[in-house]
Amino acid sequence: MKSLAIEKAKVLIVDDQQDNIDVLSGLLEMKGYFNIKTTTDSRLTIELCKTFCPDIILLDLMMPYFDGFQIMEQLKECIAPDDFLPILVLTADVSQEARQKALNSGAKDFVTKPFDFLEVDLRIRNLLETRFLYLLKKNQNKILEEEVKKRTLELEKANNELKQLDEAKSDFLNLISHEINTPLNGILGFISILKSELKASRLVEMLKYLEVSARRLERFAWVSLNITRLKTQNLVIYRDKTIGNHFVNHVKNKYAEQFHEKEVSLKCIDGSCESRIYGDVVLTEFCFDSIVKNAIQYSPKGGEITIEIKNDDRTAQCIFSD
């Protein structure tokens, strides 16, 4: 134990014989201990423990008023369950029965009378080393607990901020989607009317490109909104078992014009599209839309796109080839 720790150690000596106290006090002062309290009246022990807060108690067993065993029983009410306050018993009784009784009462070690100075010094040092190591560990645990609590609060704060950002992002995309879709509905509606009214091929062609651009913008708004909802778990998914041909027919009808223009065909392999897919119909249609649209775009003229659906007990695998 470092000298600094020795100098700081608080030692309480309880012995009804002043001569014993003088001997022990002199030894302790010679070894560097200066924070020492003593009493010959066992009735003052508990009060001294509360006011002095010793790091070790040197306790005589045979005393008037309260003997050492009674003092140790009283100390149990003063010492916290998570504290380590060593009690070094001073006794002339070296019997096994006395030692066992003292240990059961709370003593940590013994010193026999008459005192052996070297033995007394070593036993006090050993107990104080244990005491200070225990306090160090307790303090480190407290620091760790406070650090964990601090980090937990920081994580909770960061998590709340992320939730707020997700909510803000979701609200923003809802607003953007609404602000885009509202004029788009008007644009697409007028495009439909104009297409039915206009006959000039050049104007119809221009309207066609205008409609494609508007549809792309509409799709962008829908995709952005739903991807955000998926990430923030705000998108309600309605799962159902749907036959694969439903999705095949969906893309055939949706991209009929593109299939015709590029002379690209779409077919299922070995009737696998009779299999059922368990999932959200709208989202699955969107997946088919995206993949088939891309396949048409990059397929050569007269090419072929095939779809194969493989099912097991838990998943459905859709394989697209072009």
Model pLDDT for residues 264-274, shown as the tens digit of each residue: 888 888 777 88
CA atoms of 46 and 21, how far apart (whole Å): 18
What's the rounded mean pLDDT across residues 190-208?
A: 69
Q: How many CA within 13 A on the CB side of residue 91?
A: 22
Rounded to an integer, the average pLDDT of 273-286 is: 83
Q: Where are the domains of the chain?
A: 1-115, 152-232, 240-321
Residues in the chain: 322
Q: What is the pLDDT of residue 316?
A: 81
- The reply to whether domains 1-115 and 240-321 share a CATH topology is no
Torsion angle of alpha carbons 128, 56, 122, 66, nearest 10°? -160
Q: Which CATH superfamily is domain 240-321 in?
A: Histidine kinase-like ATPase, C-terminal domain (3.30.565.10)
Segment 113-140 mean pLDDT:
88
**322 DSSP 8-state letter:** -
pLDDT-based confidence at 173, cuts 50/70/90? low
Per-residue burial over 152-167, b = 16 or more CB atoms within 10 Å of its CB, e = otherwise = eeeeeeeeeeeeeeee
The CATH number of 1-115, from 3.10.180.10, 3.30.930.10, 3.30.70.20, 3.40.50.2300, is: 3.40.50.2300
Average pLDDT rounded to a whole number, residues 64-87: 88
pLDDT tens for 205-215 read: 777 777 777 77
- Residue 66's pLDDT is what? 93
> Tell me, what's the pLDDT at 60?
92
Mean pLDDT of the 243-259 span: 86
- pLDDT digit string, tens, across residues 10-51: 999 999 999 999 999 999 998 888 899 999 999 999 999 999
For 84-126, the DSSP string reads ---EEEEES---HHHHHHHHHHT--EEEESSP-HHHHHHHHHH
The runs of H, that is alpha helices, within the chain are: 3-8, 18-30, 45-52, 68-75, 96-105, 117-197, 201-231, 244-254, 256-262, 281-298
Question: What mean pLDDT do residues 159-164 have?
Answer: 80
Model confidence band, residue 99 (pLDDT cutoffs 50, 70, 90): confident
Query: What pLDDT sits at residue 261?
Result: 87
| pLDDT at residue 306 is higher than 60 | yes
How much is the mean pLDDT over the chain?
A: 82
**Confidence (pLDDT) at 264:** 87
**Is the confidence at residue 115, as pLDDT, over 90?**
no
> What's residue 296's pLDDT?
87
Q: For the segment 215-235, what is each residue's pLDDT rounded down to a tens digit?
A: 777 777 777 666 666 666 666
Does pLDDT of 1 surpass 50? no
Query: What percentage of the chain reaches a pLDDT higher than 90?
Result: 20
Give this prediction's pTM.
0.48
Task: Give the residue with greater pLDDT, 12 vs 251.
Answer: 12
Using CA atoms, how far apart are residues 251 and 273, in angstroms rounded to an integer? Answer: 13
Number of other residues whose CB lies within 10 A of the CB of residue 85: 20
At residue 104, the pLDDT reads 87
Alpha carbon separation from 190 to 202, 261, 280, 307 (Å, rounded): 17, 25, 32, 36
Provide mean pLDDT across the span 152-158: 87
In this predicted structure, the answer to whether residue 199 has a pLDDT above a threshold of 50 is yes
Residue 26 has what pLDDT?
Answer: 92
